[in-house]
Amino acid sequence: MKIGFVGLGNMGGGMALNLVKGGHEVVAFDLAEDALARACAGGCSAAANAGAAVAGAEAVVTMLPAGRHVAAVYRDQLFGAVPAGTLLIDCSTIDVATAKAVAADAEARSHAMVDAPVSGGIAAAAGGTLTFMVGGTSQAFARAEPILQAMGKAVIHAGEAGSGQAAKICNNMVLGATMIATCEALALARRLGLDPQRFYDIASKASGQSWSLTSYCPLPGVGPESPADRGYEGGFAAALMLKDLKLAIAAAHGADAAVPMGSAAESLYQAFANTGGGARDFSAIIGFLDGTLPTAP
């Protein structure tokens, strides 16, 4: 299938190459020349601009930083350049309101559009093991599913347009809050004289168990290997967690939802970012909370 791909950064670069590996013809564009060059080295063809990347495409995939980029790229460059009926797939993590508005614009132009944000970081994007949460009609989902499968291990229909973004920010709000609760508990356990590994062994088999504890333990040397064992480098940057928490809190305000734990997590990740922690893995917040572990490399 001929696919136009716009946004070849940390995530999109790997995703585009997995489409190539899946046998698709990928015509790509990014404002950054080095990103475009990497994609071309992996088998994509370069386009001179976003409109040229999608001209004649049967499907379009975008992986851009935020809602304002997605709205501008679709409205100013893609809608006028794609053939009628083209399937549009936006994989960026953006606000629910913009996702819904852009999808409505697409529908008014007779294009099928889905929002398909991902869970999984740069390694999962490169390895083709992302999880996609998809918002859009059943027909659009059915068309998007085989394309997304070439880039991921799970493709799940969340509901109507915007539902993929809603699922993503709700999931990451749980993740942000449970990571902080896990960090607090591990730090307290240590201060109470408990061996952290012993506490891990107990909590991982008791009701304190969570993904943050047992798959991504924020203490080095405890549990399976995680970014904590690599000096909190790589993994999921605290700045990206903060971005997702801000999206969740903004959506909660619009929906009159009470999100006290999510709001606390947002404030704490903001404070952590303000001390220079934004580029570190999000589990590094344990050092900020406890004050006993290094937060700077």
Q: Is 8 in the site for ligand NAD (CB under 6 A)?
A: yes
Residue pointed to by tokens 């001929």: 2
Q: Is 88 in the site for ligand NAD (CB under 6 A)?
A: no
* Rounded alpha-carbon distances, angstroms, from residue 10 to 65, 92, 126, 229: 10, 12, 9, 22
246-283 as b/e: b if 16+ CB within 10 A: ebbbebbeeeeeebeebbebbebbeebbeeebbebbbb
Q: Is 37 in the site for ligand NAD (CB under 6 A)?
A: no
| Residue closer to ligand NAD (CB basis): 172 or 186 | 172
| Residue closer to ligand NAD (CB basis): 38 or 143 | 38
Q: Is 73 in the site for ligand NAD (CB under 6 A)?
A: yes
Q: Is 152 in the site for ligand NAD (CB under 6 A)?
A: no
- Smallest separation (angstroms) from ligand NAD to the CB of 116: 11
Q: Is 208 in the site for ligand NAD (CB under 6 A)?
A: no
Residues labelled catalytic: 168
Q: Is 10 in the site for ligand NAD (CB under 6 A)?
A: yes
| Residue closer to ligand NAD (CB basis): 2 or 69 | 69
CA-based torsion, 7, 151, 172, 286: positive or negative:
negative
With CB under 6 A as the rule, give the number of residues binding ligand NAD. 26
Q: Is 287 in the site for ligand NAD (CB under 6 A)?
A: no
Q: Is 32 in the site for ligand NAD (CB under 6 A)?
A: yes
- Smallest separation (angstroms) from ligand NAD to the CB of 228: 17
Q: Is 200 in the site for ligand NAD (CB under 6 A)?
A: no
List the one residue from 1, 2, 22, 31 that touches ligand NAD (CB under 6 A).
31
Q: Is 60 in the site for ligand NAD (CB under 6 A)?
A: no
| Residue closer to ligand NAD (CB basis): 109 or 246 | 246
Contact region with ligand NAD (CB under 6 A), list: 117-125, 147-155, 182-190, 223-231: 117-125
Contact region with ligand NAD (CB under 6 A), list: 3-11, 39-47, 98-106, 284-292: 3-11
Please give the residue whose beta carbon sits closest to ligand NAD in the complex. 9
Contact residues for ligand NAD, defined by CB under 6 A: 6-12, 29-32, 35, 50, 63-65, 69, 73, 92-93, 118, 121-122, 236, 240, 243
